[in-house]
Amino acid sequence: MCGIIGCVGRGDDTLDTLLDGLDTLEYRGYDSAGVALANGSVQTAKQAGELDALREHLGDQSLSGTVGIGHTRWSTHGPPTDANAHPHCDCTGDVAVVHNGIIENYQELRDELAADHEFLSDTDTEVIPHLIEDALADHEPEAAVRATLDRLEGSFAIAVVIAGTDAIFAARQDSPLVLGIDDDATYLASDVPAFRVHTDRVVYLDDGQFVRLDADGYTVTDFDGTPRSSSVETVDWDPEATGKAGYDHFMLKEIHEQPRALRQCLQGRVDELAGEVTLDIDPEVNRVQFVACGTSYHAALYGAALFRAAGVPAQAFLAHEYAIQTPPIEDDLVVAVSQSGETADTLAAIREADRRGADTLALTNVVGSTMARECTDALFIRSGPEIGVAASKTFSAQLTAVNLLALATVGAGDEDVRELIGALRDLPANIQTVLDESDAREVAREYVDSESFFFIGRRYHHPVALEGALKLKEISYTHAEGFAAGELKHGTLALVTPDTPVFAVVTGDDEAARKTIGNVKEVEARGAPVIAVTDGESDVERYADAVLEVPSTHARTAAVLANVQLQLVAYHVANELGRSIDKPRNLAKSVTVE
Ligand code: F6R
């Protein structure tokens, strides 16, 4: 949600370094982009639209400066216009600021400043450079920025450049910031991909930290100047991981990366011979509350079902609801499921659980993320960077990791643990089979003109139905709803017509499958086209207009395979419609505002 980049020490390459960094941060927002470079003076350029619009606007003009900051925006205050794009400047044009987050007291500050300052945008951010401008009357630049931080309420990651000062000042409060450390240059960004091509050495800043970057390197303090220790860590993925590797879209690449992502997730954690799963965490699990949003919430629903199957009370909560109406916590482990580890709603939920004394566990993809650092424990899903805004490989890895968590802590109830471990081990190869043999493109072409789609599934396939619908909605902009298969007849069946394709996830031939087939017959009787996602174990194909096959496996892992088919359907429908697949309208990855 908004991407920030800064660099010191790149000399003549400063502008290109900023633009290339912003390229990799566009998944955080793409409403507008801008840069500011400083030496004796501050030069800025900003433009509504994606980064290409800024590049075009810059044309041949090359801004110069020894230090620079850049921003790609996801709008909160004010529409995506040139004026609302960051950086924002003070009245003199000597102070430029980029910001991610929300300044909650901005109206009060703006009212106070309005008499003496001219505001050019609708943003909350613009109060910051004007406050710094006032503070510079009495303070040196660094002290002026610190004095300004004292006035701000809300969440922010900010970076500031000031004319005549060869430094970047930055601060973090509830929005991520990470430093990249190289021998001759230092970087600052919302996320590592922004500078990974230059260095793999990083320093994750904590809330309440202030940093000064200059030719001598960096110093980390708290907001009032007390030195704070910081440790340099090494990231374990290559810069190529953030490229498209020849695929048309990041999402397609990430869908195809799933076999590898899941191998990484399983590596060193399962011992099939011994029938054991070993994690490097050992939380006490008596009861579980999962908190998450969006796709991760669907993984949380699936996770809760696994724990319940093992006889352990478990429930999944939408994080934003949990944070404002927290259920009673007894000896619950509270598990935050979050790809980014930065989602503000999920952080708020986990902080509330922590305040009430619960042990917390982050199930996340991002090692240095706020959730990973704030929770009592972290279980990493090891998917590597995911750039497409729509989560794909990380959802499959979340489902895999939550299986490992359940097996390692509470077992599998009546299920055969060895069989389950075998099914998990087979997942990467089975996903590869789905990817190689899928008919999703043909199905997408057949039904692309439908105005509405439904997805149904029972038990482990219910979260898959929800996820299938969400994926289709977000990247194709087509109406879609997912349901527990038994629920359709309680109202929504009224919407089912010959123009509403229904995707039914039916694997195995157990009671759940038979009941879902009953629901399939109900929609078929109303003339709806049925697309069965199935392993062929039941006779659902008899009632289906099209079939998307998955290899036969355990019901838990079949859910992962069925979801891969639905990812491909969503992708191909969106592609047929010519949508902006990696950057769907109105969305951003990593939602760092509540
Ligand atoms: C949808 C999607 C979102 C995220 C949600 C939570 O494809 O990616 O629904 O799942 O914003 O994000 P994380 O998992 O980073 O907490």
pLDDT digits (tens, 9 = 90+) for 244-254: 889 999 999 99
Indicate which residue's Cα is closest to atom 5 of ligand 1.
294
Q: How many residues does the chain have?
A: 594
Helices (H), 448-554: 461-476, 511-525
Q: For a substitution probing ligand 1, which of 255, 467, 589, 593 has the most ligand atoms within 8 Å of its CB?
A: 589
Query: Please, which pLDDT band fits residue 78 given cuts at 50, 70 and 90?
Result: confident
pLDDT (0 to 100) of residue 6: 98
**What's the chain's average pLDDT?**
95
Spatial distance between the Cα atoms of 1 and 5, rounded to a whole number of angstroms: 13
pLDDT (0 to 100) of residue 335: 98
339 CA to centre of ligand 1 in angstroms: 7
pLDDT (0 to 100) of residue 238: 86
Tell me the average pLDDT across 339-350: 96
392 CA to centre of ligand 1 in angstroms: 10
Give the atom of ligand 1 at the shortest distance from the alpha carbon of 340.
15
Is residue 3 within 8 Å of residue 189, measured between CB atoms?
yes
Q: In what order do the strands lie in the sheet with 178-181?
A: 42-48, 32-38, 67-73, 3-8, 186-189, 178-181, 201-204, 233-234
pLDDT (0 to 100) of residue 241: 82
Is residue 565 within 8 Å of residue 535, measured between CB atoms?
no
Tell me the average pLDDT across 37-50: 94
pLDDT (0 to 100) of residue 286: 96
270 CA to centre of ligand 1 in angstroms: 27
Q: Is the pLDDT of residue 1 over 80?
A: no
Strands 217-222 and 209-214: antiparallel
pLDDT (0 to 100) of residue 122: 94
Q: For a substitution probing ligand 1, which of 296, 335, 375 has the most ligand atoms within 8 Å of its CB?
A: 296
Give the atom of ligand 1 at the shortest distance from the alpha carbon of 346.
16
Give the atom of ligand 1 at the shortest distance from the alpha carbon of 394.
14
Place of tokens 């909605």: 473
Spatial distance between the Cα atoms of 236 and 335, rounded to a whole number of angstroms: 25
pLDDT tens profile 31-42: 899 999 998 999
Place of tokens 């709603």: 345
Instruction: Identify the sign of the CA torsion 96, 173, 15, 66.
Output: positive
pLDDT tens profile 160-177: 999 999 999 999 998 999
Query: Please, which pLDDT band fits residue 521 given cuts at 50, 70 and 90?
Result: very high
Indicate which residue's Cα is closest to atom 11 of ligand 1.
294
Rounded to 5 degrees, φ, ψ at 2 are 65, 135
394 CA to centre of ligand 1 in angstroms: 10
359 CA to centre of ligand 1 in angstroms: 23
Q: Is the pLDDT of residue 593 over 80?
A: no
Indicate which residue's Cα is closest to atom 8 of ligand 1.
391
Ligand 1 pocket, Cβ-based, cut-off 6 angstroms: 293-296, 338-340, 343, 346, 390-391, 474, 590-591
Q: What is the DSSP string of 248-270?
A: SSHHHHHHHTHHHHHHHHHTTTE
Q: Identify the helix (H) or strand (E) that includes residue 501.
A: none
Indicate which residue's Cα is closest to atom 3 of ligand 1.
294
Give the atom of ligand 1 at the shortest distance from the alpha carbon of 292.
16
Spatial distance between the Cα atoms of 161 and 213, rounded to a whole number of angstroms: 10
Spatial distance between the Cα atoms of 44 and 82, rounded to a whole number of angstroms: 12
pLDDT (0 to 100) of residue 163: 97
298 CA to centre of ligand 1 in angstroms: 10
pLDDT (0 to 100) of residue 587: 87
Active site residue 589: yes
- The residue from 253, 473, 583, 589 that is catalytic is 589
Q: Is the pLDDT of residue 30 over 80?
A: yes
pLDDT (0 to 100) of residue 27: 84
213 CA to centre of ligand 1 in angstroms: 32
Strands 502-506 and 530-534: parallel
Tell me the average pLDDT across 543-565: 98
pLDDT tens profile 456-466: 999 999 999 99
Active site residue 91: no
Q: Is the pLDDT of residue 445 over 90?
A: yes
- The residue from 2, 89, 265, 375 that is catalytic is 2
pLDDT tens profile 386-432: 999 999 999 999 999 999 999 999 999 989 999 999 999 999 999 99
